Amino acid sequence: MKKSSKIVLAVSSVFVIGLTGCGLGPATPDSGEPAAGGEIAGEITFSTLQLKPTFTEYIEGVIDTFEEEYPDTTVNWIDVPFDGAQEKISTDAQAGTLPDVINLNPNFAQPLEEQGAFVDLEEVVPELRDIYVAGAWDAFQVPGEEGSFGFPWYLSSEVTMYNKAMFKEAGLDPEQPPATYDELFEAARTLTEEGGDFYGMHPALENRFIPDLARLGVPLMNEEGTEWAFNTPEAEAYVQTLIDLYQDGVFPSDSLTQDHTKETEAYQAAQVALFPSGANFLSIIEENAPAIAESTDVGPQITSEGGPTNVSVMGLLVPKTSDNQATALKFAEYMTNAENQLEFSKIVTIFPSVTEALEDPYFTDDSDGTVETKARRIAAEQLENAQNLVPVQFDDRVKSAVIGKIQLAMNGELTAAEALDEAVTEANAITAK
Amino acid sequence: MKAQYRWLPWLFLAPALVIAFLFHLGPFLNTIVLAFTDATTLGGGTFNGLDNFTSLAQDPQFWTSVRNTVLYAVVVVPLLMLLPLLLAVLVERNIPGIGFFRSVFYSPVVASMVVVGLIWSWLLSSDGAVNGVLQALRIVQEPLPFLTDTSLLLLSCMLVTVWKGLGYYMVIYLAALGNVSKELHEAAQVDGAGGGRRFWSITMPGVRPTMFLVGLLGAIASMKVFAEIFVISNGSAGPGGQARSLVYTIREVGLGLSGEIGYASAMSLALFVLTIGFSILYLRSQRSEQLR
């Protein structure tokens, strides 16, 4: 071989071998002990999930007041769109460049929490635990381990939205929303059969199936949180109900594989009459379909008698790799304090995770008679008994495996029991990896 | 070339080489290495021998993906070899306004697959235009479940792939048709051969090498099918993900914070072997046909 060819080959090999190292690096580095008690000064980066541009003014306002209160600090805000967020987070985690304060939901946070990527708040700020809604604080724990890793930020609580005009058309009382699962499905059936050219409801399996099982009291996992265990007789009865409703045409035929986005579109297009979803969707309906918003009323989240209600939690976490943990922790605490969260809740129908803020008359007084204030009151009342019912282990792959089996059951390819057994087996295989 | 200018070609090649190394060869070799590890999205990754491949052999989702991918190629490739040729013969003639039709047939090629997929998912929905027409013509009583029946969903995706590829392969055939001797056509016409006979005995043999090329390109493209299935099925690959292709499964396994990069790399390697294997078999069969 010629000398020049050898050089080219050697350079290429080094280059390629260098590249092959990608993906084989160590897990997120541990930078050692957290420094909560340090000086509140210097620059930090704060990352949020899809809040720009709708809430730019609010976020920048809070940052400005923080920087005024702590004059030696600078907060650089970046916003990450929801789609692709997991890829960005994992790349940052690999490179050890996670932002100093990062906004994640419990499912996104879980794989990183397991690797010890975040500062344990119960260790560095244990006194703050009691100011937050208990269910929200607990959402950032790793099952079977000590500690909690996220400041709970804004919450979203489901209410039962429904179209009063469609209720009237189907001969149902528009002032009486369904309160139990039996009533919900009965109403959906009546709406489809007796109503006009619309369906009772959309199943939105990927969004509701697992919380529904939890609300019905089905234990989703074993106590250690290591194995899935939802193939119970109660779950089987519930899946059988879904099968019957789908086969009888109570749900739209294409809804089998559709997600919550399609459910929202269907409600806004007057294709379905019932819409159990986050209260924050009221403003989206108002914006996209004012006529539907006018006919919309709300009832409480449907759960079993005495059962828990579900709450979706967003949190702020501080990675151990942050070189300014003291400022990061102070900023996360500031962003989630009662005053700032209350202000945020007044812009959009979300709920503060601080108990004190929830006691504000803004969440208790619905005397103005609007649907928004009614939804706000109902949702805030529910938060007392609310938990994040979706286990943090329910990641995208487990979801795909479980929901896939339920789809096959509803399509008549599996029985309810077979679907649940296969779903549990597949989910366990994925979780065990 | 003078000795001192020997490096010049390398200089000109350098940008392309850097891109090829950085974005093709490097990641490819990286995938081979990762396929033998238990690497995840969040790092780690120790050598685990053939574990990923033994897991693959027992993974029903993998085999469903392989079955669908092979089925996709088997259905799509013959259609992509024949239909664009017919279309090319149709638009080859120099008649006024033919340029417009050529552009129209080519337009799906330049459209984004995501946009095309969304349009087709609306058209194929139970209350969409396709079912509307079928019901209006009394061909079916109830809407066909194009999006919720695995076989119909796969078939719909295949037809969309063919529809989108028609224009591209039509252009390739148009270039090839220019080389088919006009005299042969005229002689055959004088001898009384009809249009069908001339297409079979003159046009097809004349463009055979191009048909081989189109077949090979179509096979490789259909092995990589993803966007059609993902977009038309609303990201679900049908009920239970039964209409999944290999690329769909690789994405599902490898993406996200819990992504199994090692396992997904093993699957990618399997796809590579499948594509190469399919291509070699195809080339061999064509070569033996040429020898005959």
Domain locations along chain B: 49-290
Q: Which of B30, B241, B258 comes nearest A22 by C-beta? A: B30
Identify the three-state secondary structure at position A231.
coil
Identify the three-state secondary structure at position B237.
coil
- Which residues of chain B have a CB within 8 Å of the CB of A254? 125-126, 145, 147-148
Q: Scanning every residue of chain B, which has its alpha carbon at the shortest distance from the alpha carbon of A27?
A: B43
Q: Which of A24, A94, A404 comes nearest B241 by C-beta? A: A404
- Which range scores top for mean pLDDT: A17-31, A33-47, B91-105, B265-279? B265-279
Contact (CB, 8 A) for B218 and B224: no
**Tell me: the pLDDT tens digits for A309-345?**
999 999 999 999 999 999 999 999 999 999 999 999 9
Q: Touching check for B135 and chain A: CB below 8 Å? A: no
In degrees and rounded to multiples of 5, residue A273 shows phi and psi of -100, -30
Q: Which of B42, B125, B242 comes nearest A27 by C-beta? A: B42
Q: Which of A89, A112, A397 comes nearest B252 by C-beta? A: A397
With CB atoms and an 8 Å threshold, state whether B34 touches A24: yes
Q: How far apart are CA A333 and CA B166, in angstroms?
A: 59
At A196, the pLDDT band (50, 70, 90 cuts) reads confident
Task: Give Cα separations from B92 to A63, A124, A142, B105, B203 (angstroms).
Answer: 65, 76, 67, 13, 12
The two three-digit tokens of residue A8, written as one number:
């080219």
Taking residues B18-35, report their average pLDDT.
94
With CB atoms and an 8 Å threshold, state whether B256 touches A86: yes
Alpha-carbon dihedral A213, A217, A223, A229, rounded to 10 degrees: -40
The model's pTM is 0.86
- Which residues of chain B have a CB within 8 Å of the CB of A405? 240
pLDDT of res. A19: 38
Question: Considering chain B, what is the average pLDDT of its residues?
Answer: 91
**Tell me: the pLDDT tens digits for B106-161?**
999 999 999 999 999 999 999 899 999 999 999 999 999 999 999 999 999 999 99
Q: How far apart are CA A356 and CA B69, in angstroms?
A: 57
Q: Touching check for B39 and chain A: CB below 8 Å? A: yes
Say if residue A31's pLDDT is above 80. Answer: no
Say if residue A11's pLDDT is above 70. Answer: no
With CB atoms and an 8 Å threshold, state whether A112 touches B239: no
Q: How far apart are CA A254 and CA B191, in angstroms?
A: 57
Tokens 């050890």, residue located: A96
- The strand ranges marked E within A92-239 are 101-104, 150-163
Say if residue A30's pLDDT is above 60. Answer: no
The two three-digit tokens of residue A119, written as one number:
């500062």
- Which residues of chain A have a CB within 8 Å of the CB of B59? none
**Tell me: the pLDDT tens digits for A109-123?**
988 998 889 999 999
Q: Touching check for A411 and chain B: CB below 8 Å? A: yes
pLDDT of res. A20: 38
Amino acid at A90: S
Taking residues A76-86, report their average pLDDT.
90
Nearest Cα of chain B lies from the Cα of A257 at a distance, in angstroms, of 6
Contact (CB, 8 A) for A198 and A172: no
- Which residues of chain B have a CB within 8 Å of the CB of A90? 41-42, 256-257, 259
- The strand ranges marked E within A111-167 are 150-163
- Which residues of chain B have a CB within 8 Å of the CB of A23? 30, 34, 39, 43, 45, 261
Tokens 């541009």, residue located: A53
Say if residue A362's pLDDT is above 60. Answer: yes
Nearest Cα of chain B lies from the Cα of A38 at a distance, in angstroms, of 29
- A296-299 vs A150-163, strand pairing mode: antiparallel
Say if residue A365's pLDDT is above 60. Answer: yes
**Tell me: the pLDDT tens digits for A369-406?**
889 899 999 998 888 778 889 988 898 889 999 999 99
**Tell me: the pLDDT tens digits for A169-186?**
999 999 999 999 999 999
Say if residue B233's pLDDT is above 80. Answer: yes
At B292, the pLDDT band (50, 70, 90 cuts) reads low
With CB atoms and an 8 Å threshold, state whether B239 touches A257: yes
Q: Scanning every residue of chain B, which has its alpha carbon at the shortest distance from the alpha carbon of A20?
A: B30
At A359, the pLDDT band (50, 70, 90 cuts) reads confident
With CB atoms and an 8 Å threshold, state whether B126 touches A253: yes
pLDDT of res. A36: 56
What residues of chain B, 202 to 241, have a C-beta less than 8 Å from chain A? 233-236, 238-241
- Which residues of chain B have a CB within 8 Å of the CB of A20? 26, 29-30, 33
Q: Which of A111, A405, A408 comes nearest B258 by C-beta? A: A111
Q: How far apart are CA A187 and CA A169, in angstroms?
A: 12
Interface probe, candidates A400, A415, A430, chain B, greatest B C-beta count within 10 A: A400
Class of domain A3-156+311-387: alpha beta
At A22, the pLDDT band (50, 70, 90 cuts) reads very low
Q: How far apart are CA B261 and CA A275, in angstroms?
A: 38
Q: Scanning every residue of chain B, which has its alpha carbon at the shortest distance from the alpha carbon of A89?
A: B257
**Tell me: the pLDDT tens digits for A135-144?**
899 899 988 8
Q: Which of A115, A254, A413 comes nearest B126 by C-beta? A: A254
CATH architecture of A158-309+390-432: 3-Layer(aba) Sandwich (3.40)
Contact (CB, 8 A) for B170 and B84: yes
Interface probe, candidates B13, B29, B31, B41, chain A, greatest A C-beta count within 10 A: B41
At B44, the pLDDT band (50, 70, 90 cuts) reads confident
Q: How far apart are CA A302 and CA A308, in angstroms?
A: 10
pLDDT of res. A35: 52
Domain locations along chain A: 3-156+311-387, 158-309+390-432
Taking residues A258-277, report their average pLDDT.
94
Nearest Cα of chain A lies from the Cα of B289 at a distance, in angstroms, of 39
Q: Touching check for B108 and chain A: CB below 8 Å? A: no
Q: How far apart are CA B223 and CA B241, in angstroms?
A: 18
Would you say the CATH fold of A158-309+390-432 matches that of A3-156+311-387? yes
Query: B49-290 maps to which CATH number?
Result: 1.10.3720.10
pLDDT of res. A366: 83
- Say which residues have a Cβ less than 8 Å from residue A250's Cβ, sequence separation at least 6: A185, A188, A189, A192, A199, A200, A201
- Ranking A206-210, B5-9, B25-29 by mean pLDDT, the lowest is B5-9
Q: How many residue pairs from chains A and B have C-beta atoms closer than 8 A?
A: 119
With CB atoms and an 8 Å threshold, state whether A253 touches B41: no
Q: How far apart are CA A287 and CA A36, in angstroms?
A: 43
Alpha-carbon dihedral A59, A60, A64, A66, rounded to 10 degrees: 20
- Which residues of chain A have a CB within 8 Å of the CB of B147? 254, 257
Q: Touching check for A93 and chain B: CB below 8 Å? A: yes
Say if residue B3's pLDDT is above 50. Answer: yes
- The strand ranges marked E within B120-195 are none
